[in-house]
Each structure stands twice: as C-alpha cells, then as structure tokens.
Amino acid sequence: MISITPLASGSTGNCYCVSNVVTPPVLLEAGISFTRIQRGLKFGVSKLSGCLISHEHGDHSKAVKDLMAHGVDCYMSQETAISIGAPGHRLHIVYALEKFRICGWEVTPFDVEHDAAEPLGFLMEDGVERLLYVTDTAYCRYRFEGLTRIMIECNYSLDLLREGVKSGDIPLSHKNRVMCSHMSLDTLITTLKANDLSRVKGIHLLHLSDGNSDAEQFKRAIQEETGKPVYVC
C-alpha cells in the first residue's frame, strides 16, 4: 500500500513523500527549504532512498544541493542537472523512457511539456502498485495501463484565468505562459479519461494555482467524471 504525504504543493514550492510498507520512502521534488523538508519528514531525511526532480524551476528543486550534501541520491535529467548546477556523486542522470531502480521501485521517466530545459514525469512501480506522477505540463502524450495511484497537476480553470485577464488582475503574457506550460482542469479530465482507471484507488491533485483554481470545484468535477476518490494536495 502506497502512502503519499504532501510537504508542499503549488507555485511557492512542491515536495511529496511517497512510501510503502517494504522500501524506504522516496521524495518527489525538493522545492522548499531543506529545513522544511527535515521538519516534514520528522528529521528522517537519512531514511530516504532518493529524490526525483522533474525540472529545474526553484519551486521543484530549491533544496537539491542540500539533500545531496546530506547523503540523499537525487535523480533528474541531464539538462535539469546542468540548469541547477548540481554536481557530485549523489547526482544520477536519467533519460526519458529508460527505466531505473531506486531500492524496490522501478521508475520510468517520460518527457512532458513545460517551459524548462528537460522536464520529466515519472511512473513508479513496486510490483503491486503503479503510481503516475506528472506535473508542470500542458498535457501528457502518454497513456498508462494498470495505474493504482495518480498524482497529477490541475493548475487552473480556463474560465477563472479568462476572468483574471478581463479584470486586469492577470497580464495577458502570464495567461499565455500558463496555458502553454501547465495543465488545466479540462485537459486533466481528458487525460484521465484516456487512461486505464480501473484499478485506481485515488487521484491526487497537485500544483493548484493560487488565483486561477477552485479546489472544491476541481475535486467535485473530477470525482464526478471518474468515479474515483480525489484528494487535493
């Protein structure tokens, strides 16, 4: 059974701890301070089996160097590592669609659509569970079978985004950037319906925009469309 503990989610920082009953926990993203990560893990950083980084933006990679300095192996694409400037033997370069292992997890990275150097999503498997993690992407081109947990971005509602532009609260340039690099509610629903949800036990919504989202509306809409339990991180 997979346990998902959000330490932070959103434009100010993203960090999630994923664990099961067999293997040490894995950290997804390190976009908050090392001190916050320590506190969130109850000072159990040394128990981590590794950390996966999707891309170089600070709200996903802020504490990478600190984690590596404290003995945590960090996995990311080559261009992400170059952009962060993350050297050292704790750095592991991974490639889209090439599987690798972290303790009992088999991880398959895949490319996503974001305004970053070489962003990735991750499919994690432990022999029983299949966890999909995808965030900061306009859409997902891949389809997956047999998923049991889904952690996925639901950044904005197009209606709310348009209202913000109309009122003058959101610059048109920001609207265009959001639409080209983040996943909307409508796109997420289409994405979920395109995948095999028969075994899914829960859908976890990530990276909601502070001003262009409505957590309760998003949760309700996705539960109605999928019939699955939905959690807002």
Percentage of the chain exceeding pLDDT 90: 80
Residue 101 above 50 pLDDT?
A: yes
How confident is the model at residue 165, as a pLDDT?
44
pLDDT tens profile 10-68: 989 999 999 988 889 999 999 999 999 999 999 999 999 999 999 999 999 999 999 99
The verdict on pTM exceeding 0.85 is yes
Position 211 scores a pLDDT of 74
Look up tokens 């994405």; give the residue: 191
Average pLDDT score over the chain = 92
Please give the radius of gyration of the chain, using alpha carbons only, rounded to the nearest integer: 17
Residues whose CB falls within 8 Å of the CB of residue 170, separated by 6 or more in sequence, listed in order = 161, 164, 211, 212
Instruction: Lowest mean pLDDT of 50-64, 76-90, 93-107, 167-181, name the range.
Output: 167-181
* Domains delineated in the chain: 3-232 (3.60.15.10)
Other Cβ atoms within 10 Å of 11 Cβ, number: 15
pLDDT in tens, 166-204: 465 666 666 667 667 899 999 999 999 999 999 999 999
Could you list the beta-strand ranges (E) of 41-169: 50-52, 74-76, 91-93, 100-102, 105-111, 120-125, 130-134, 149-153
Question: What is the structure's pLDDT at 118?
Answer: 97
